[in-house]
Amino acid sequence: MNNAQLNELKTRYVASGAASPATQFAERAENALIWDADGNRIIDFAGGIGVLNVGHRHPKVVQAVKDQLDKVMHTCQTVMPYEGYVKVAEKLSQLTPVRGHGKVMLANSGAEALENAVKVARAATGRDNVICFTGGYHGRTFMTMAMNGKVAPYATDFGSMPGNVFRAPYPVPYHGVSEEDALNGLKMTLKTDANPRDTAAIVLEPVLGEGGFYAASTSFLEAVREICDEHGILLIVDEVQSGFGRTGKLFAIEHSGVEPDIITMAKSMADGMPISAVVGTDKVMDASGGNSLGGTYTGSPVSCAATLAVLEVFEEEKILEKSQALGDKLGERFAKWQQDFACVDNVRHLGAMAAFDVVADKAKHTPDAELTGALCKKAREKGLILLSCGLYGNTLRFLMPVTIEDEILEEGLDIVEACLKELVSH
C-alpha cells in the first residue's frame, strides 16, 4: 500500500489521540535511513525518540532476535524463567552505578519502569510522597502523568491525577531558574507540601528529555543526593531517554559520580524491541513481597536477546566513544549556526544528547515555538525527520543513531541549515 492509502486507513480506524500527524509510512529502514511506502528516502534524526542509538536494524541485534525466535518467544518469566532474563539482570547489575550491589526487574516501557520504581521506593521506605521536577517527563500512565512536569498534551483530557506527587523547580539558568533557586524550591517543597518523613523518593532526569535537553550540574545532583540522605529519601534517576550511551556514558548520571538508589532505563536498551528496567540497591529492590513485581510480557525472551546483543555492540563498536565524537561534531555545527542565525541560541550537548533553542529574541531568550514547528515541517519536506521538545516547544533536539555514517550526518545537517536559511534572517 502507498502513503495515501495508508493515510486513509489511519483516518478511518486509528484513534485521533494515537494517530501520527505524519503522512509518510515507514516501509523499511537501515541505520539512519528510512524509506517510506512511496519509496522516498528519509534521513532519521529522531531515532524513534532516542530508541535507536545503534541504528535501525543493527545486524547483530537482528540476528540475535532471529536466533531467539527459533528457541522461545514467550513463557512469562514468572511462570517459566529463561536464561535471557537473568543474563540481562546480571549485565545491568554490573554496569549500572547504583549504590552497592544492584538487583534488577525488567518491564516493557519507560512508563512501566517508573511506575515500578515508585512501587519499590514506597515498599522500601513505608512512605507515600514522590517529588518530581518541572519540565520532567516520565510517561503516559496515570502515575507517570501525575509525575510529569508538563500538562499538555499528556494529561489535558484525562481528569484527576493520583495524589502524593509534588513538584520542585528544575535548574535551567537560561530560563531564569538558577541552581540555587532550584535547591531552595526543593527545600521549600519539603517544608510546605511533602513532609520529609512521608516522602519515599525524589525522581529526576539528569538531563531533561522532553523538557528540553537541559543537563543538571554535578553540584546540583550532589546536593539532591545529600538532601535525600539527610531525610532517608530514595533518589530515583530516570535515564529512559538519556541512558544507553546517548551522553557518551552508558548513563548520564555517571558524568557526576552521584550514585542513585534506583535507576530506570528503556528506549535504546534493545534497538527497538520493547523492554525497560528498574535497577536498584539490593535491599531496596527486595523490599516488596514475592510476585509483587512483573507482568505478562516483562523481559520477554526476544527483547532480552536484543538487549544482550546491544551490549555486545557497545563494546565491539566503541559506541560510547562514537557518542562523544558525534556530540562534538554537532556542537561545532550548532555553534556556527548560533553565530550565523538570529533565531539559534543556547546550543548545548552532553555527548550526543544535543539541542539548541529557537528564539524570537536572543537578548530576552524569547521562545519561538511557531518557527520551531515550521523548521521541523520544512525539514520533513526535504527528507529529514527532526523533533522539537521543551517546556515552551522551541527546542530542536537531535537523536540520530550514534552509528550514523559521516556522509549521512552531514547531509542531514545541511538540510537543517538550508531550512534555517529559507525561514529565518541571518
Share of the chain above pLDDT 90, in %: 96
Amino acid at 76: C
The band of 315, judged by pLDDT with boundaries at 50, 70 and 90, is: very high
CA-CA distance, 310 to 169, in Å (whole number)?
35
The band of 154, judged by pLDDT with boundaries at 50, 70 and 90, is: confident
The band of 425, judged by pLDDT with boundaries at 50, 70 and 90, is: low
342 burial via Cβ count (<10 Å: 0-12, 13-18, 19+): middle
Q: Can you give the pLDDT at residue 151?
A: 76
In the chain, residues under CATH classification 3.40.640.10 are 62-316
| Beta strand extents in 242-391 (DSSP E only) | 262-265, 276-281, 344-350, 353-361, 366-367, 384-385, 387-389
Regarding predicted confidence, which is higher, 426 or 306? Answer: 306
pLDDT in tens, 255-285: 999 999 999 999 999 999 999 999 999 999 9
The band of 152, judged by pLDDT with boundaries at 50, 70 and 90, is: confident
Domain 3-54+318-423 architecture:
Alpha-Beta Complex (3.90)
Q: Can you give the pLDDT at residue 358?
A: 98
CA-CA distance, 398 to 348, in Å (whole number)?
11
| Beta strand extents in 233-337 (DSSP E only) | 234-238, 262-265, 276-281
Q: To which H or E segment does residue 132 belong?
A: strand 129-133
Q: DSSP letter string over 394-419?
A: -EEEE---TT--HHHHHHHHHHHHHH
In the chain, residues under CATH classification 3.90.1150.10 are 3-54+318-423
Q: Which residue has the cell 524550591?
A: 185
Judge whether 45 and 354 are in contact, CB under 8 Å: no
pLDDT, the chain, mean: 97
Q: Can you give the pLDDT at residue 424?
A: 85
The closest alpha carbon to 199, from 222, 166, 160, belongs to: 166
Helix locations, 168-318, DSSP H: 179-192, 218-231, 282-285, 301-316
Radius of gyration of the chain (CA): 21
Instruction: Evaluate whether the domain defined by 62-316 bears CATH number 3.40.50.1000.
Output: no
Judge whether 330 and 398 are in contact, CB under 8 Å: yes
CA-CA distance, 316 to 312, in Å (whole number)?
6
CA-CA distance, 245 to 276, in Å (whole number)?
15
Q: Residue 426: pLDDT above 60?
A: no
Q: Can you tell me the mean pLDDT for 201-226?
A: 98
The closest alpha carbon to 236, from 131, 360, 93, belongs to: 131
